[in-house]
Amino acid sequence: MMKWLFLNLALFFFSGLVCAQVTISDFIRSAEDDQEVKSVDAQINYLKSKPYRLSPLQKLEFRTQNRELLYSQQEYALRLNPANPWEMRSNNKYFEEYSSSLSIEKEVALKNALVDRYNLVILYLYYFELKSLAERNANLVDKQLSLLERQSASSFFDADEYVKLKVEQLDRSVEKEETDFDWQSQKSAVSQLHPAGSGKSIVWETQVLMTIDKIEHVADSLSKQMVNPLEVAYRKQQVNVARSQYNLEKSNINLGFLQTSYDRRRVNQDRTPINISLGITIPIVNPNKGDMARRKLSEIESEYELKIAQIDDQTSQDIAFRKLKESIARYRDLQLKIEKLKNSSLQNDLTLLKGGDPLIALQFEAGLNKLRVLQSKLKRKVLTYYVEFLTESDHLQRQPLINYLSDHLTPLD
């Protein structure tokens, strides 16, 4: 009975540990909770209730005057200033365009938040791999020193090699500390970007990531898909916003007034005490010319920014795709060299030339490990250029969101 109880408690504790983990998908999904994204989303939700709609009545005034300071001479008036219907229409149009701009801006904010998270995941895994390789390098140096110390009485002992390895041992120890510090720094950066995961463990190094071959296959497939460029769409909408601002300033003219008044003096004169007056503004000169000029300048600037975005869009995609393909080719070349060295007889040949010295095998392994460090750096470049390609081709923020680092392109629903 006690054994079963202990087993159940252990399973419960283990399941709690498993649940209290931040996965890569969880971290990437947290981009939707980024403060920039939520800020824009709050503005969109506010505008949905259309609080910007102008009232048909612009101003209502109650007026009174007394010509001779006598009660019988008191006059009352009610003046109404109607809203300009063209201004009302332009105002609604401006906020509709602005709301559309916010929707695109939200996509841009989400895209930027996703890029930050993808790059942080790549850095985390890169420094973890460097940390493991640094530990392996340090162990290899320790083994070489241990072997030399055992050979101190033999012809294989080399005092200069021993001194050199002692210095290298110190360098490898510092390298190990540096890579561990860099790795821990990435952990802190993860907590800053994903406060909801605070207190939970991060065990990303055990998760299966997309292979280099799969990355190339996905990039080739996505490069053939046509996607509306987000930057171009945003710039187009900024032109519409600037144009609607100009039209709003242009129509911002007071139409005039309608006034009804009551004159007590006319009661004693058997005349109608009520009269009506009307005033209409004749827009010979627009008083908003300064503001209109500023809005026109903004419109011109937005139009040129749109042209630049249209020119840069395809170029940026092509450059990102080319950099990705080139980095994959370099990674494969290095991988092939490492495999050839591992499977070659070079290690045995060098050992025989040195009279069977076992130190040669450890030195050969240390040389291979340096190539693995270079391979890790190239892998980081491949992943970074892969994310850059996804960013430039506007696939990263497309709904539904996908974890583009997972081997099976796991949805983030």
Q: Which two tokens stand for residue 150?
A: 């055992």
User: In the predicted model, what is the mean pLDDT of residues 88-95?
Assistant: 93
Are residues 266 and 75 in contact, defined by beta-carbon separation less than 8 angstroms? no
The pLDDT of residue 12: 42
Q: Three-class SS of residue 16?
A: helix
Looking at residue 226, its amino acid is M
Predicted confidence band of residue 18 (pLDDT cuts 50, 70, 90)? very low
Residue that the structure tokens 């250029």 belong to: 385
Q: Name 98's Cβ contacts closer than 8 Å, sequence gap at least 6.
A: 47, 241, 244
The pLDDT of residue 321: 94
The Cα–Cα gap between 38 and 178 comes to 36
The pLDDT of residue 39: 95
> Which of the residue ranges 17-21, 123-127, 197-201, 293-297 would you say has the lowest mean pLDDT?
17-21
* pLDDT at 10 exceeding the cut of 70: no
- Cis peptide bond N-terminal to 85, omega within 30: no
Are residues 157 and 123 in contact, defined by beta-carbon separation less than 8 angstroms? no
Predicted confidence band of residue 15 (pLDDT cuts 50, 70, 90)? very low
The DSSP element (H or E) to which 61 belongs, if any, is: strand 57-66
Residue 203 exposure: Cα atoms within 13 Å on the Cβ side:
8
The pLDDT of residue 98: 94
Please write the tens of the pLDDT for every residue from 143-165. 777 776 776 656 656 666 666 76
* pLDDT at 404 exceeding the cut of 90: yes
Listed ranges 145-159, 272-286, 314-328; the one with the highest mean pLDDT: 314-328
Predicted confidence band of residue 4 (pLDDT cuts 50, 70, 90)? low
Are residues 358 and 154 in contact, defined by beta-carbon separation less than 8 angstroms? no
User: In the predicted model, what is the mean pLDDT of residues 121-137?
Assistant: 90
Are residues 250 and 287 in contact, defined by beta-carbon separation less than 8 angstroms? no
Phi-psi domain of 29 (left: phi exceeds 0; alpha: psi -120 through 50; beta: other): alpha
User: In the predicted model, what is the mean pLDDT of residues 343-354?
Assistant: 54
* pLDDT at 284 exceeding the cut of 80: no
Nearest C-alpha neighbor of 376 from the set 115, 120, 128, 117: 128
> Which of the residue ranges 153-167, 212-226, 361-375 would you say has the lowest mean pLDDT?
153-167
Residue 290 sits at φ, ψ, to 5 deg, of -60, -50
The pLDDT of residue 358: 63
The Cα–Cα gap between 369 and 180 comes to 18
* pLDDT at 171 exceeding the cut of 80: no
**The pTM is what?**
0.82
The Cα–Cα gap between 380 and 133 comes to 15
- 124-148 b/e (C-beta count within 10 Å ≥ 16 → b): bbbbbbbbebbebbbebbebbbebb
User: In the predicted model, what is the mean pLDDT of residues 7-16?
Assistant: 47
Are residues 227 and 394 in contact, defined by beta-carbon separation less than 8 angstroms? yes
The Cα–Cα gap between 372 and 235 comes to 44
Q: Three-class SS of residue 108?
A: helix
The pLDDT of residue 397: 92
* pLDDT at 328 exceeding the cut of 90: yes
For residue 97, count other CB atoms closer than 10 A to its CB.
19
* pLDDT at 14 exceeding the cut of 50: no
Residue 161 exposure: Cα atoms within 13 Å on the Cβ side:
15
| Helical H segments across 151-229, by residue range | 159-193, 212-223
Q: Which two tokens stand for residue 9?
A: 């408690």
The pLDDT of residue 158: 66
